[in-house]
């Protein structure tokens, strides 16, 4: 009986000691630490020169890609969409490493989205995300590491993996804007106004401003008389985007109209109203390659990143970096 009593006292003492230990750990202030560095792998082994704020920096895919993914796609997107974005960004960088960049031959890529693709530094991401930094960075790093070394190739070469924000039901064929690519053809895209903020936007231009900009680019346009009669028909391509518009007898391309009037895409209608010329625009971006919001809808519906990529970049292969 005394043995049983002694054993009971020993167990009670041990329990009290453990309780005090855990209570002390719970009350200790959390340690502040930098986010975990990218894991070593194929991305870690490939180095290149990038321009960050105009200055050349030596970096690796593992170091550069998180900022590139976060700079181009919201961290709130689905994990499989973020993985698709990581592969597209990695592929784009590889194509620039192989083919160079005329605008900055000293560096493969830069952080100017008007030239290459956006890239945000860790300091910029901390400022943008605030208290959500850790959770968002975990998602971005997971997407990059989960696709480590994977890129898209066509006939053994990294493709031009361009992408855009959102499409109006169909993506654009690269041949309509630049030169044709067998992997940048028009395909369906599932996003709708329920999925995309500002999916449909409107731009109204006064007759005077409309005439000034059109005449400046096309002096041959006849913009006399009533403005309501300046508009002819719109010619649309297979994706539904405007290829050209007849304005005062001049053929003005949809891409030119987008630039002249700061439209979000070439998927628009053009009407004359009491307030002036009304552009009703759907989607955002040039429309070629992967639609980011379309990828997010597919991911939300359970589609993996491999299938998302094969849909938006048909005729390509998912390839792994060697070594």
Of 12-21, 47-56, 99-108, 308-317, the range with the lowest mean pLDDT is 12-21
Question: How far apart (Å, rounded) are the C-alpha atoms in residues 47 and 63?
Answer: 9
Q: What is the pTM of this model?
A: 0.85
Question: How far apart (Å, rounded) are the C-alpha atoms in residues 259 and 201?
Answer: 15
Instruction: Give the pLDDT band (50/70/90) at residue 72.
Output: very high
| Residue 50: pLDDT over 80 | yes
Cβ–Cβ < 8 Å for 80, 127: no
| Residue 27: pLDDT over 90 | no
Instruction: Give the pLDDT band (50/70/90) at residue 100.
Output: low
CA dihedral 56, 60, 66, 71 (to 10 degrees): 30
114/93: higher pLDDT = 93
Q: What is the pLDDT of residue 323?
A: 57
Question: How far apart (Å, rounded) are the C-alpha atoms in residues 285 and 264?
Answer: 6
Instruction: Give the pLDDT band (50/70/90) at residue 29.
Output: very low
| Residue 36: pLDDT over 90 | no
First to last CA, the chain: 69
Q: What is the pLDDT of residue 35?
A: 42
Domain ranges of the chain: 42-164+287-320, 200-282
What are the residues whose beta carbons fall under 8 Å from the beta carbon of 52, sequence distance 6 or more? Answer: 110, 111, 119, 121
Cβ–Cβ < 8 Å for 293, 198: no
């Amino acid at each position: 009986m005394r043995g049983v009593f002694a054993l009971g006292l020993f167990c009670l003492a041990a329990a009290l000691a453990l309780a005090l230990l855990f209570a002390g750990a719970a009350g200790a202030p959390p340690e502040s630490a930098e986010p975990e560095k990218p894991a070593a792998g194929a991305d870690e082994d490939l180095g290149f020169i990038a321009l960050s704020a105009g200055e050349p920096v030596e970096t690796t895919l593992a170091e550069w890609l998180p900022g590139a993914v976060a700079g181009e796609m919201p961290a709130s997107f689905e994990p499989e969409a973020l993985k698709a974005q990581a592969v597209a960004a990695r592929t784009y960088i590889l194509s620039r490493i192989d083919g160079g960049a005329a605008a900055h031959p000293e560096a493969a890529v830069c952080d100017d989205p008007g030239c290459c693709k956006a890239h945000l530094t860790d300091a910029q991401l901390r400022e943008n995300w605030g208290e959500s930094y850790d959770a968002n960075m975990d998602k971005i790093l997971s997407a990059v590491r989960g696709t480590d070394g994977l890129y898209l190739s066509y006939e053994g070469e990294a493709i031009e993996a361009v992408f855009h924000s959102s499409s109006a039901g169909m993506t654009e064929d690269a041949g309509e804007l630049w030169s044709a690519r067998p992997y940048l053809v028009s395909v369906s895209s599932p996003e709708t106004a329920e999925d995309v903020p500002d999916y449909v936007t409107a731009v109204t231009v006064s007759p005077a401003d409309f005439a000034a900009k059109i005449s400046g680019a096309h002096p041959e346009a006849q913009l006399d008389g009533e403005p309501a009669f300046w508009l002819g028909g719109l010619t649309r391509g297979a994706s539904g985007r405007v290829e050209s518009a007849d304005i005062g007898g001049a053929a003005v391309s949809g891409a030119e109209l987008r630039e002249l009037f700061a439209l979000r895409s070439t998927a628009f209608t053009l009407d004359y109203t009491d307030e002036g010329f009304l552009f009703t625009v759907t989607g955002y971006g040039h429309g070629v390659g992967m639609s980011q919001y379309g990828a997010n809808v597919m991911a939300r519906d359970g589609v993996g990143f491999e299938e998302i990529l094969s849909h938006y970049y048909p005729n390509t292969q998912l390839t792994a970096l060697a070594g």
